[in-house]
Amino acid sequence: MSAPTTPQRRVALVTLGCARNEVDSEELAGRLAAGGWEVTTDGEKADVVMVNTCGFVASAKQESIDTLLAASDTGAKVVAAGCMAERYGNQLGDALPEASVLSFDDYPDISDKLESLLRGEEHEAHVPRDRRSLLPLTPVKRQNSGVVIPGHAVVDDATPAHLRQTLRRRLEGGPVASLKLASGCDRRCSFCAIPSFRGAFVSRTPDELLAEAEWLATQGVRELVLVSENSSSYGKDLGDPRLLEKLLPQLAAITGIVRVRASYLQPAEMRPSLTEAIATTPGVAPYFDLSFQHSAEPVLRRMRRFGSTDRFLELMASIRELSPEAGARTNVIVGFPGETRADVAELERFLTGARLDAVGVFSYSDEDGTEAATLSGKVRQDTINRRYAKISELVEELTAQRAEDRIGTTIEVLVDRISDGAERDASGRPVREVESRAAHQAPEVDGSTTLVGGIADQVRPGDLVRATVTACGGVDLVAEPVEVIDPASRP
């Protein structure tokens, strides 16, 4: 008589926040699958629901709390991981007894940790600490420090990277995946708390990145989105601050990869060689995700940032000289302490001259543990609201005009997904909707391109297609596909 088998445990991973969190969740999924867990993104019938939380701003924190509370209604064991859990630790545990709160330091033993929670064992949440203090002050001394850094896990560092098992499991399909260049940040922006709970800046080595990128290509990935808190700093702790421009063509040369996209770039760190590499390297999207935040010098100085309207416009001019159709996006904050009407006018001057494809507008609010929360000159909330509405309206007009300027141009798009639309053809069948993205459109944040007519009924997800832009609506484009340049592998 055979011994009874232990039923497989089921864990649902719910990811909130940015693409960096998505990579961390897929590392956790890899660890859990290796530990014998059935990993899913669906909380139904799960033994454990683990929420990879976001702790960036108030709205993100509230979404994390709401998601944890909703998970507790399922009857599963609820676990809070990720940024908000790391940032608040036992404070979150005391305020939300429905969830067990884990630290990044728990990730290497995550399977055993969840097993112990299922057995009813008590878990004491960690006391929050500044994770920058865990690493040497000098960047080049941070490698191999032994500090747990999410998304940087290595199964066996004695084995060459290209021969190691990739400790990652994809949670979502599709032809696009994020690849984490680095974690943490050494900048001291006065409005941002991320370095305190994400830690100091640490790069992953090129061999690790190339090995993981090759693995992603075998999983059907066609576009790599390079993510970090600050991608333009990549390599500084490895002794080569120009390492990113060397890595880009290597990633683009991987079989199956048709597009590499760099994100999270700092304007003050955009050296000419990096600008040229992104704008001109075959297979690399001429796309510039630049964190301007503002353009008025007095505001930037209080933010502990560098630049000015004229310097930023010069940067944009240098990009467009190399690649006239290059895409560019940014985020801006209005209502920062001390911001004046003249500062807002300066921001308007920059936005009008920069011709950006997408702009995220945020209204300032005090954030726990930041220098900005202690600054004088707070702007009244009703004034912040007016400025937010004004800049948002301007941005909507400017980005729509930028999209309109692309009508009649030829673009290369990657087909993301195909679905049955609400409309029906003459025979009553649903009209096929083909959603894709051009080089200037990053996933989730920059709009998309709908393919209509031409060979739209022949393309498949993952195809790289040449198309002609025929119309636009806001930042979204409509285009007629002309030719499949590089088809995805067919099952």
Which pLDDT band, with edges at 50, 70 and 90, does 426 fall under? low
Report residue 3's pLDDT band, with 50, 70 and 90 as the boundaries. Answer: very low
Residue 109 gets which letter from DSSP?
Answer: G
User: Is pLDDT at 1 greater than 70 in this prediction?
Assistant: no
Encoded amino acid at 466, one letter:
R
State the pLDDT at residue 468: 97
CA dist., res. 181 & res. 248, Å (int): 11
**For residue 176, is pLDDT > 90?**
yes
Closest CA to 87 of 59, 54, 62: 54
Cα gap 178→225, rounded to integer Å: 5
Beta-strand pair 464-473/476-486: antiparallel
Q: What is the pLDDT of residue 56?
A: 75
Which residues does 466 contact at the CB level (< 8 Å), separation at least 6? 410, 411, 412, 481, 482, 483, 484, 485
- State pLDDT tens for residues 144-168: 888 888 888 776 665 666 666 778 9
Which of 15, 18, 12, 107 shows the shortest CA–CA distance to 52? 15
Contact 260, 284 (CB under 8 A): yes
Structural tokens at position 358:
């997408």
- Helical pair 110-118 and 19-34, crossing angle rounded to 10 deg: 70
* Mean pLDDT along residues 221-250: 96
Q: Bigger pLDDT: 292 or 138?
A: 292
- Which band of pLDDT confidence, cut at 50, 70 and 90, is reported for residue 425? low
Q: How many beta carbons lie within 10 A of that of residue 299, not counting itself?
A: 22
Single-letter amino acid, residue 136: P
CA pair distance 158, 462, nearest whole angstrom: 35
d(CA 194, CA 79): 21
Instruction: Return phi, psi of residue 91, to 5°.
Output: -65, -40
472 assigned binding-site residue: no
Structure tokens at 282: 């075959």
pLDDT number for residue 8: 82
Torsion of CA 237, 241, 243, 246, to 10 degrees: -170
pTM for the full predicted model:
0.92
Percent of the chain surpassing pLDDT 90: 79
- Please report which confidence band the pLDDT of residue 4 belongs to, taking 50, 70 and 90 as the band edges: very low
Helix-, strand-, coil-residue percentages of the chain, each rounded to 5: 35, 20, 40
Burial class (CB within 10 angstroms; exposed 0-12, middle 13-18, buried 19+) of 134: middle
For position 365, what pLDDT does the model report?
93
The predicted pLDDT at position 423 comes to 65
DSSP state of 293: B
Residue 409, pLDDT above cutoff 70: yes
CA 124 to chain centre: 31
**pLDDT 10s digits, 460-469:** 999 999 999 9
SS3 194: helix
Q: Phi, psi (5° rounding) for residue 67? A: -70, -40
pLDDT surpassing 60 at residue 195: yes
- Tell me phi and psi for residue 176, to 5 degrees: -125, 140
- Of 425 and 15, the structure prediction assigns the larger pLDDT to 15
Query: How many C-beta atoms surround the C-beta of residue 7 within 10 A?
Result: 8
Please spell the DSSP secondary structure of 234-275, one letter per residue: TTGGGT-TTHHHHHHHHHHTSTT--EEEE--B-GGG--HHHH
Q: Given its phi and psi angles, is residue 309 left (phi above 0), alpha (psi -120 to 50 degrees) or beta?
A: alpha
What tokens does 324 get?
């006239």
Least confident of 15-24, 57-66, 92-101, 147-156: 147-156
54 annotated to bind ligand: yes
The string of pLDDT tens digits covering residues 77-115 is 999 999 999 999 999 999 999 999 999 999 999 999 999
3-state class of 59 per DSSP?
Answer: helix
Residue 158 DSSP label: T
Structure-model confidence comparison of residues 216 and 42, the more confident one? 216
Return the residue matching tokens 């992603």: 216
pLDDT of residue 192: 93
Mean pLDDT of 379-399: 97
Q: With bands split at pLDDT 50, 70 and 90, how would you rate the model's confidence at 143?
A: confident
User: Which 3-state string (H, E, C) describes 402-422?
Assistant: HHHHCCCCEEEEEEEEEEEEE
Mean pLDDT, the chain, as a whole number?
92
Q: What is the pLDDT of residue 491?
A: 61
Residue 459 pLDDT: 94
SS3 388: helix
pLDDT value of position 444 = 83
pLDDT tens for 322-348 read: 999 999 999 999 999 999 999 999 999
List, for residues 107-128, the tens digit of each pLDDT value. 999 999 999 999 999 899 999 9
Residues 6+ apart with CB under 8 A from 133: none
Please determine, for residue 6, whether its predicted confidence score (pLDDT) is greater than 80: no
Please tell me the distance from the alpha carbon of residue 179 to that of residue 212, in angstroms, as a whole number: 8
pLDDT at 430 over 80: no
Going by pLDDT thresholds of 50, 70 and 90, the confidence category of residue 428 is low
Residue 38 in tokens: 């059935």
